[in-house]
Amino acid sequence: MTERLLSVEDLKVHFFTRDGVVRAVDGVDFAVNRGETLGIVGESGSGKTVSSLALLRLVPPPARTVGGRGWCRAPWPAWSAGPRPRRPPGRRIAMIFQNPATSLNPIYSIGTQLGEILLWHEPITRAEAEARVIALLTLVGITDPAARLRQYPHELSGGMKQRVGIARALLCNPSLVLADEPTTALDVTIQAQILDLLADLRRRLGMAMVLVTHDMGVVARMADRITVMYAGRVCETADAATIFRAPQHPYTRALLD
C-alpha cells in the first residue's frame, strides 16, 4: 500500500495590492506519496511556485496564505485565516530554490552557510557539522569539498552553486524536497547533470520530491505523477504516462502541443 507523505487541501494565497486582491493560489489540492516525484507544471503566473513557497511560509509581502490545511506524516494545521499561519513541519520539508546565484548569501562562505543550519537544528559540534557538510558536498558531486568550505558563492560556477543548494536542502535529512525550477538558470549541459543528480539522490536517499517547472520535458523525465496548474487552480492530476498519452484538460493539451 502506498504511504501518503504530504497532503495539501484548499490552499489559498492572495496578493493584497492597491489595485485589489490577486488570487494567485485559489483552492489548490495535491498530495505526495513516500518516495515519489510529483511534477507541478504550468506557465508563468499559474501559481505553482507560490504554492510551494507557501508550504514553508516563504510567500513574500504583499502575499498572505489565507486558507488551507496540510498533513505531513502527522496532522499539520499549516495555515489559518489571517496573516500569521502556524509554523510548517520544520525539517520534514526542505527546498531547492530556482536561482542559485541569489539563493546563497554572498557575504558568508559556503562552510559557514551550511554549517550554521546544522548547528541550529542539530545538537552537534562545529567539527561534526563541518564533517557532515563535507560529506554532503561530496555526495552532490563537488570536487575538493574541504577547500570549497572556505570559498564564497561568487567563486563558484552556476552549476556548483546549485549543487551547494541541493546539499543545503539535504542537511537535515528531509522526507520531502521541493525543487522550484532547479535548472532554469543553468545552461543545457548543466541542466542534464542536475536532473540526473536529483533522480539519483531520490533513489539513494528514499526521499519524495515536488518538482516545480514549466518544462514538460523535465517532468516527462523525472515525475511519477503530474499536477497541471492554471490561473491559481489545479486543472488536472494524473500519473505521468496518462498525462502524456491521454490528457483530459484543454490546457494540458495546449502545454503538450
Average pLDDT of the chain is 90
Cis ω before 62 (30° cut-off from 0):
yes
Q: What is the pLDDT of residue 256?
A: 93
The answer to whether 68 and 3 have CB atoms below 8 angstroms apart is: no
Q: What is the pLDDT of residues 35-44, one digit of tens each?
A: 999 999 999 9
The answer to whether 47 and 28 have CB atoms below 8 angstroms apart is: yes
User: Mean of the pLDDT values across residues 73-101?
Assistant: 64
First-to-last CA distance in the chain?
35
Could you give the C-alpha distances from 256 to 42, 52, 187, 243, in angstroms and in order? 11, 23, 23, 9
> Residue 48 — φ and ψ, nearest 5°?
-70, -45
Q: Give the chain's domains with CATH numbers.
A: 4-256 (3.40.50.300)
Q: What is the pLDDT of residue 90?
A: 53
Q: What is the pLDDT of residue 89?
A: 53
The answer to whether 119 and 129 have CB atoms below 8 angstroms apart is: yes
Q: What is the pLDDT of residue 81?
A: 43
Q: What is the pLDDT of residues 98-142, one digit of tens each?
A: 888 899 999 999 999 999 999 998 899 999 999 999 999 999 999
